[in-house]
Amino acid sequence: MTDCQRLLGALTVLLAAWLLPATAMAQDHCSGLDYDTCLSQAGCTTIDGVCALATDPCAATWAPTDAADLCDQIEGCGFVPPGPCYCPPTEECECTGGSPPACATLE
């Protein structure tokens, strides 16, 4: 094994040790938030009424309460309007169950 390979291996271990806590924190920042707080946090979304970490990278810096044009300004991302029957739990609606607005990767 060359010195470069040993150094690369050591740097990989150090980087992993540094990133693991940040990854765990990113996964935790959405859990347990109430609905309104969840939708005001970048990187969070609701799945079946429960706040969760958004999986699309475009959502990492965009919150569902942000303006649509903020999403459209992110390279490779586009605004996805709320689904049919989207209804925040704080409102009375005739139908419910639609997805909240989102910022998603353009395909």
Cβ(27)–Cβ(52) below 8 Å: no
Whether residue 9 lies inside any domain: the answer is no
Question: Can you give the residue range of the structural domain that contains 72?
Answer: 31-105
Q: Which residue has the tokens 């300004």?
A: 73
Residue range 11-40, pLDDT digits in tens: 343 344 444 444 444 456 898 999 889 888
SS3 45: strand
Residue 77 has pLDDT above 90, yes or no: yes
Token representation of residue 97: 């169950």
Whether residue 81 lies inside any domain: the answer is yes
Whether residue 4 lies inside any domain: the answer is no
Whether residue 22 lies inside any domain: the answer is no
Domain count of the fold of the chain: 1
Element at 8 (helix H, strand E)? helix 3-28
Percent of all residues in the chain with a pLDDT value above 70, rounded to a whole number? 74
Cβ(38)–Cβ(59) below 8 Å: no
**Report field, pTM of the whole predicted structure over 0.85:** no
Whether residue 20 lies inside any domain: the answer is no
Q: Which residue, among 25, 65, 71, 74, has the nearest Cα to 41 in the 3D structure?
A: 65
Whether residue 49 lies inside any domain: the answer is yes
